[in-house]
Amino acid sequence: MVQAAGTDAWEGFRRRVAVWFGRGDAERESGELARLDQTAADLATLDANDGASAERIRIRQEALWQARFEGLLEGLAQEERDRATAELQSLLDAHRASGTVVGDGSLAVGRDLNVSSDNGSVAAGVINGGVHLGPPPPPVSFQG
51 or 70: whose pLDDT is higher? 70
Judged against a pLDDT cut of 90, whether residue 63 lies above it is answered with yes
Per-residue pLDDT band for 6 (boundaries 50, 70, 90) equals: very low
β strands within the chain, DSSP E: 2-3, 101-102
- 36 within some domain: yes
Cα 68 to Cα 34, 56, 85, 88, 105, distances in angstroms: 14, 18, 14, 13, 28
- 83 within some domain: yes
What average pLDDT score do residues 121-131 get?
70
- 49 within some domain: yes
Report the C-alpha gap between 57 and 62 in whole angstroms. Answer: 9
- 108 within some domain: no
63 or 114: whose pLDDT is higher? 63
Report the C-alpha gap between 120 and 6 in whole angstroms. Answer: 36
Model confidence pLDDT, tens digit, residues 75-110:
999 999 999 999 999 988 887 776 555 555 556 555
- 17 within some domain: yes
- 109 within some domain: no
- 33 within some domain: yes
pLDDT (0 to 100) of residue 105: 58
Among the listed residues 34, 27, 28, 21, the one whose alpha carbon sits nearest the alpha carbon of residue 68: 21
What average pLDDT score do residues 122-129 get?
70
> Where in the sequence is the domain holding 75, given as residue range(s)?
2-100
Cα 119 to Cα 7, 116, 123, 133, distances in angstroms: 35, 11, 11, 12
Number of C-beta neighbours around residue 33 at 10 A = 17
How many domains does the structure of the chain reveal?
1
- 50 within some domain: yes
Q: What is the pTM of this model?
A: 0.60
